[in-house]
Amino acid sequence: MMVKRLFDIIVSMAVLLLIWPLLLLIAVLIRLESHGHALFSQRRAGYMGKPFTLYKFRTMFRDVEPYGNSPKSGDDPRLTRIGKFLRETSLDELPQLWNVFTGSMSLVGPRPLYERQAEKWNERQKRRLNVRPGITGWAQIKGRGEIPIEEKIELDIYYLDNWSLMLDLKIILYTFLQAIGKGQGIYEKRYSLDSYREADVMKKH
């Protein structure tokens, strides 16, 4: 874990120094299109369940409910034009490099979810809180929004049990390739398997 943390610090600092003009440009474009702050902050469950503030570029209009359902497609009226582009290229996640540098996140790890979501997990599922949450992770390159939370948690536990620096590098590489190729899974289809069950019941009736 010391090696992982050192890797996080060096890479996040180097990338932030390299791309700060891009970050500034994105912030300006967001402000030009819609009123409100360029950055979006939200409370999430972090390492060992301790809450922290996650940062992203704002992709929706400022009057949108911050804890509402995730967009299901790029046609969601809550998305701004620049916001749709940022989501589909994952550029909206770039401010989390600051979270990584300051220690509340890692480059690779389980994605940080809401505290109310973490409260519903069993002890095995809560193991995903035993490491810092990541900007990307094993579940993200294996399906992202295409798969429900139950499958994501299983993939996160696999990551915990099989972690290595080489695995982190592999995940970072695949994440980059998916981002430049606008890979599938950007938009969340169904949050939970319970949603599928509810849909099946509605069809039967």
pLDDT digits (tens, 9 = 90+) for 27-83: 999 999 999 999 999 999 999 999 999 999 999 998 888 777 788 888 889 999 999
pTM above 0.75, yes or no: yes
Report the number of distinct structural domains present in the chain. Answer: 1
* DSSP H stretches of helix in the chain: 2-33, 81-89, 96-102, 115-118, 138-141, 149-161, 165-180, 193-204
Radius of gyration of the chain (CA): 17
60-64, 136-140, 156-160: segment of lowest average pLDDT: 60-64
Looking at residue 177, its pLDDT comes to 87
Q: How confident is the model at residue 10 (pLDDT cuts 50, 70, 90)?
A: very high
Domain that holds residue 89: 2-204
